[in-house]
Amino acid sequence: MPPQPILELEDSTAPLRARAYFYILPVVVWAALFAWFQLDIPSEETFYEKYSLLIMAVWLGLCWLGLLLPRWVRFHTVERGVFWSTALLMVFNVYYNLLAVNSEGLWNSSLWIAVVFVMAYFVFAPRQAWLVSLGIFAAFVIVGLLALVPPSLRGMPLDQNAVVQLYVSQLCYLILFRLLVLSKEHSLRVRLEAAKLYGLAHTDPLTNVANRRSIMEALYQALEQNRQTGQPLSLALLDLDRFKQINDQYGHEMGDKALVHTAQVLKQNLRPGDLLGRWGGEEFVLLLPNTSLQEARQLCEHLQQKLIENPLDNLRPVSASFGIATATPGDTPDYLISRADTAMYLSKQAGGNRVEVA
């Protein structure tokens, strides 16, 4: 059958991200503690400079412990805790860095600011991540104004180049990550649309089974495999008996329901690897790889019985006439189908509800 687009309701990457956090968080905690121990605490001027690394290390350590307790702490809670703590740390980083930018220039820690824009697209849906990223960038701008405006009003010099480099670089990262996500979303939409169009071209719209084109493509491939491996291949055609009477007596809508019902009964009783298709009108076709003529006959007799046992609503049971052919050396799709069609015609000539073998 042609592939159908699948919309996943669950976040399939969550287990992978949880495993990544499990290994990355201890490294980050160690790095934060290592950097904190290198500080000359008495010489640091602000609470942020003295204790931010220690607080971050403790908090991320608690988040890591949350990963060990999935029954009590949901992974998304841990992930958002890591994200928002990182975002808050970066906002404070920008503020205190700009307070000291004239004397110290841009801190090395400013290299990590853009990580929050990357993390946002893992933690939130794309549109929400874009809004969250814009909000964080706005916070960078606000704390920058709070840090730079008062000294400027007092006439203190400003390292304009450092400030411009900081904000322009973060704005570029913000826009770049957004463009990358939009590109990925566009690629996914194109693939889903291609899968949908392929499905429409290869699926019967009424019964949702393979259509004639799809069956012919599969039959070409199956015959090629039969020639290469010598494995048996059988094909069966079946025609619903007295189907015109259903249309005449109950209307075409009930006739369509009978076709859909027949397709459902057949699909439910086929084996893995068998392919069911609608050949046209009230005719269906069964492509049966790795199936000998005897096995195909047994399967068709089983399907014949299932159709009788499962009538639709108040209709009489719908029976079918089956014709089976098995591939022989040098077979073509048309010749194999022709033999199955001849057998099916003999079944109908004999009164229907039969299985005939070519």
Q: Which residues are catalytic?
A: 282
Secondary structure of residue 229 in the 3-state scheme: helix
287: β partners: 235, 275
- DSSP code at position 267: H
Distance CA 278, CA 212 (A): 6
Question: 322 φ, ψ to 5°?
Answer: -105, 140
Greatest pairwise CA separation for the chain in angstroms: 106
One-letter amino acid of 124 = F
Per the listing, tokens 């904190």 go with 36
User: CA nearest 322: which of 345, 351, 306?
Assistant: 345
DSSP string, 261-279: HHHHHHHHTSPTT-EEEEE
Distance CA 51, CA 191 (A): 49
CB 122 within 8 A of CB 17: yes
Secondary structure of residue 6 in the 3-state scheme: coil
Distance CA 286, CA 210 (A): 10
286: β partners: 236, 276
How buried is residue 13: exposed, middle or buried, by Cβ count under 10 Å (0-12/13-18/19+)?
exposed
Helix H or strand E segment including 323? strand 320-326
User: Torsion over CA of 303, 304, 308 and 312, rounded to 10 degrees?
Assistant: 60
* Beta-strand relationship, 355-357 and 320-326: parallel
Give me the count of residues in the chain: 358
User: Torsion over CA of 286, 290, 294 and 299, rounded to 10 degrees?
Assistant: -40
